[in-house]
Amino acid sequence: MGDTKKEIAVTFWGVRGSTPCANKENMEYGGNTTCLEINVPGTDEILILDSGTGIRNLGNNIIDRPGQIQGRIFITHPHWDHIQGFPFFKPIYGSKNHFSIHMPDQGEEGGCKDILDGHLTKTFFPVTLDMIDANLEYVTQPQERIDYNHYEIEFMLANHPVRTAVYKIHIDDKQIVFCPDNELGALEDQESTFQDRMKEFVQGVDLLIHDGQYNRKSYKEKRGWGHSAWEHVVDFAKATDVQRLFITHHDPDSDDEKLLALDEYLQVEYGELFIEVGLAKEGKEVLV
């Protein structure tokens, strides 16, 4: 049996967007790409969102658990920074272990298994899917709310260049929304119904983890790239009565000095509006 914590706890194992950045000036916030673990009370099952390079440390953290390790990995979309760590997640090499891997349908590119199969070919990497020992199940996640016993998950599609999930996890009466890649745009940009759907989806959640790779100024040159300015995220979280807000998918060129200054600013400026607000940091645990 693993350690079964009583609280719903979210741990950030990777908070970078685009590419890992193992530079000394990035070590405080962390250089690994997107990966999140949610501790679900009452079960030993591991719940993971995205398998960027951060999933390697997560795997190393649980690999020595006695007995079978089982769980689910919900991948938002197949961009490198969200799948690159997958073959370095050691529990998939234990024949007793069982994981199911979920991803939204990718249209002509296929479903979850097609995507991972295409990623792990001999040209790019020595390990292919058939060499993985654990019992793996590949699920092309349907767009409906599904009950997995101790939690339920649903998703809506993000505003991002490929089909990308914004996952909403329901645990008891708590709700967590994970949205690492999404171009929100300014609140006043109301030309599409996207923001309305997103508002409805996020309204009042206990924890929102959202892409804030840019600021309003740098966003101007990167409109249409599928990422948000942090100012837009804060405005959106205020408008939707989100309880806790963590901004993630930090730009690899944002060093610790820059991120620390923004983190402090968020707490001073918006600390009263949220139970917790700030930047996602590798190793940080948020209790919900």
What does residue 182 show for φ and ψ, rounded to 5 degrees? -165, 135
By the rule CB under 5 A, 251 interacts with Zn ion: no
What is the spatial distance between Cα 200 and Cα 278, in angstroms, rounded to a whole number? Answer: 23
Q: Which is nearer to Zn ion, 171 or 198 (CB)?
A: 198
By the rule CB under 5 A, 181 interacts with Zn ion: yes
Stretch that binds Zn ion, among 5-13, 100-108, 179-187, 213-221 (CB under 5 A): 179-187
Q: In whole angstroms, how close is the CB of 254 to Zn ion at the nearest point? A: 14
What is the spatial distance between Cα 160 and Cα 182, in angstroms, rounded to a whole number? Answer: 6
Q: Which is nearer to Zn ion, 17 or 87 (CB)?
A: 17
Q: In whole angstroms, how close is the CB of 17 to Zn ion at the nearest point? A: 5
Which pairing describes strands 98-104 and 70-74: parallel, antiparallel, or unpaired? parallel
By the rule CB under 5 A, 79 interacts with Zn ion: yes
> Nearest CA to 31 among 227, 205, 251?
251
> Nearest CA to 213 among 243, 256, 248?
248
Q: Which is nearer to Zn ion, 227 or 281 (CB)?
A: 227
- Six token digits for residue 72: 């689910």
The dihedral region occupied by 141, where left means phi > 0, alpha psi between -120 and 50, and beta the remainder, is beta
Q: Which is nearer to Zn ion, 181 or 282 (CB)?
A: 181
Q: In whole angstroms, how close is the CB of 66 to Zn ion at the nearest point? A: 35
Q: In whole angstroms, how close is the CB of 51 to Zn ion at the nearest point? A: 12
- Chain residues binding Zn ion by CB under 5 A are 17, 79, 81, 181
